[in-house]
Amino acid sequence: MTSAFALEDRAAGGPAVRHRTPPAARAAAAVAVVAGAASMCWSGLNHDVRYVLGGMRAAGRGGYGASGTFVHRPLAYRWLLSGLDHLTAGPVALREAWIRLLVVVLTAALAWWLRSGLARRLPRREADAVAAATGLALLFAPPWDFLQPEWVAIWLAVAALAAGLGPRRARWAVPAAGVLTALVVLVKYTTAPTALLPLGALIALDRRRGRWTAAAAALATPAGFALAIAVQPREWRWFNELSALNPGTPLQDGFHARDLGLLVDTVGTEALMNPVVALLPAAVVLLARGAATRRARRAWPLLTGAGVAAVLVALVVQGQWFQYHLAALPVLGAALWGLALARHPHRWTVAATAVLGAATPLLAGRSLSWRSAHASLAFTLVAVVAAAAAGAAAVLGSKTPPRYTTAAALVLALAVPAWPTTPYSYDTRHSTFTALERARTRHELGRWLDGVRERIGSATPVTYLAFGDVGYLLGNPTHCRYPTPDFLQRTRYDRAVTGQVSYRENLRCLDDPRTRYAVLDTFWFPLGQVAPEVAARVRQRFDCAAPVAADPAYHLVICPRR
């Protein structure tokens, strides 16, 4: 049963009109797709994804499977990334390209699946626009978002919506959508609010399927968590101890004025770096203004506000204010903006989309010193354009833009995060990290670690006292289920971590006699700042005063066993 809200807005969208795309436009689109896919495959992966993959590879070579390796992520996420990783082979750059290409293919298939389900409930033009915008938002995700648990969660959320709408028979659609919605939660647990997005959209489009899917997800989620604990009993302990690695969050200490400032900064940066987020209010105004009934006009801002609130709740709960914690927001913005421009094409809002799509990479691609000096100008520009777009959508009459202009403007805006010079954030966390910088790091640090591997032997067991991307590039095995020693490293900030069971288990890894070397990052793991017990154990076991190799640029020393 399709909901009344969906029927009202479908009627407002008008009849579906099929246009034949000229060969020149098809050729241009094909070239753009190939160029975009090649660029994404070249850009590689961010440091957090390398951390997870590197940890599972190093521990895997040391005898631990993905289920028994701690990499700061739940079992469902570890299995998903391990499955992707096992489909690749070869040097680091090639494996990253294969992972990217696999995700491109899977996301293209997902967009097509979503389109087929939406086309049964919306005019074809609107279904095409929503599916295309959603797929491009996933593919052109900011480099820091890509393959993070939050990005995987919104990918699975889109898959849950597609599964709920796609099959003609509800008995197939509901279980599939319920399991996928459960996975949205299980890939990180703090991603639980993201699961509300596909459920809300499904209820709006098909109330009966939406309610049954919510019930199926409510059963599948605890069942999946219980399965994870049955497969790896440590999962329950790690679930309880994870919060000790990130103390001082609003969930633990309450929400204060400082947290409000950080929340505003993080959301403001997301709007600056992703034009579809800045233009979300204009999209809602267009959709509400063009709705056929008063009920639908009220529903658009309420439902969108609830979706945005769900994303922000996950950000606040974690309290680390990383941009990738908002990975669902650009996808939500892209879907609504695509629907708005397909349903109510508006010349001035399309112009605003093009302006931000062109201006944002020019601003974000400048040096950090320039960006910091002109931050007020950049944020003011985005705010003014976004406000003007919302105002134009609310007041001015609709003038249809030239054909293909709307699609070109939307693609330009969605492609901003994929530019090689676009940083992870404008002027906050990792604001110097770009795709170009990540590729340079992979080349420079990887070449030095290749020399280390040749010197000590590729099969020689080591202990990693460094962030996981070092192990990712070195590749030597470790006989420790904590390939990145998070519980030991966190003692530099909070000595209460020493009371955790996983801390003691991690500490015992230093005593393993099979380990021949320690790979120490003196910046990330400063022996003078971690717990005295940890520093003493490292100095007793390894001679870091006489390393076999050192790279001051990356703060790395290779310490032989005493």
| pLDDT tens-place string over residues 27-75 | 666 676 677 677 777 778 999 999 999 999 999 999 999 999 999 999 9
Does residue 220 register a pLDDT over 90?
Answer: yes
Does residue 310 register a pLDDT over 90?
Answer: yes
Q: Are 144 and 46 in contact (CB under 8 A)?
A: yes
Copy the structure tokens of residue 326.
């908002």
pLDDT in tens, 173-192: 999 999 999 999 999 999 99
CA angle, 460 then 461 then 462, to 5°:
115
Query: What is the average per-residue pLDDT within 441-461?
Result: 93
Does residue 16 register a pLDDT over 50?
Answer: no
What percent of the chain shows pLDDT beyond 70?
93
Q: Are residues 392 and 462 in the same domain?
A: no
Q: What is the pLDDT at residue 24?
A: 66
Q: What is the pLDDT at residue 551?
A: 94
More confident site: 144 or 37:
144
Q: Are residues 273 and 405 in the same domain?
A: yes
End-of-domain residue from the set 418, 449, 478: 418
Q: What is the pTM of this model?
A: 0.92
Q: Are residues 449 and 381 in the same domain?
A: no
pLDDT-derived band at 26 (thresholds 50, 70, 90) equals low
234 part of a folded domain:
yes
End-of-domain residue from the set 387, 418, 449: 418
Query: What is the average per-residue pLDDT within 382-404?
Result: 84
Q: Are residues 263 and 156 in the same domain?
A: yes
Q: What is the pLDDT at residue 30?
A: 67
The number of helix segments (H) and strand segments (E) in the chain equals 26, 4
Best CA proximity match to 135, nearest among 173, 170, 161, 169:
161
Does residue 7 register a pLDDT over 50?
Answer: no
| Total tally of structural domains belonging to the chain | 2
Query: What is the average per-residue pLDDT within 104-110?
Result: 93
Q: Are residues 349 and 443 in the same domain?
A: no
Range of the domain at 199: 4-14+28-43+74-418
Residues constituting the chain? 562
Number of neighbours of residue 334 by Cβ within 10 angstroms: 30
Q: Are 473 and 47 in contact (CB under 8 A)?
A: no
Q: Are residues 8 and 140 in the same domain?
A: yes
End-of-domain residue from the set 418, 452, 478: 418
Which phi-psi region, left, alpha or beta, contains residue 147 (left: φ > 0; alpha: ψ -120 to 50)?
Answer: left
Helices (H), 14-74: 23-43, 47-61
Q: Are 371 and 364 in contact (CB under 8 A)?
A: yes
Copy the structure tokens of residue 81.
């990334």
429 part of a folded domain:
no
Q: What is the pLDDT at residue 250?
A: 82
Q: What is the pLDDT at residue 259?
A: 87
Best CA proximity match to 328, nearest among 308, 347, 302:
308
403 part of a folded domain:
yes
Q: What is the pLDDT at residue 13?
A: 43
pLDDT in tens, 381-392: 999 999 999 998
For 17, 395, 493, the CA distances from 254, given in Å and listed in that order, are: 53, 41, 20
Q: Are residues 525 and 403 in the same domain?
A: no
Q: Are residues 407 and 491 in the same domain?
A: no
Helix (H) or strand (E) holding 199: helix 196-205
Q: Are 350 and 341 in contact (CB under 8 A)?
A: yes
DSSP code string of 287-342: HHHT-SSHHHHHHHHHHHHHHHHHHHHHHHHH-S--GGGGTHHHHHHHHHHHHHHH
Best CA proximity match to 191, nearest among 153, 148, 234:
153
Q: Are residues 386 and 474 in the same domain?
A: no
Q: Are residues 386 and 440 in the same domain?
A: no
Q: Are residues 249 and 369 in the same domain?
A: yes
pLDDT-derived band at 254 (thresholds 50, 70, 90) equals confident
- How many Å is the Cα radius of gyration of the chain? 25
Query: What is the average per-residue pLDDT within 198-213?
Result: 93
Query: What is the average per-residue pLDDT within 160-170?
Result: 91
Best CA proximity match to 340, nearest among 348, 160, 307:
348
pLDDT-derived band at 398 (thresholds 50, 70, 90) equals low
404 part of a folded domain:
yes
pLDDT-derived band at 400 (thresholds 50, 70, 90) equals confident
Tell me the pairing of strands 549-551 and 556-560: antiparallel
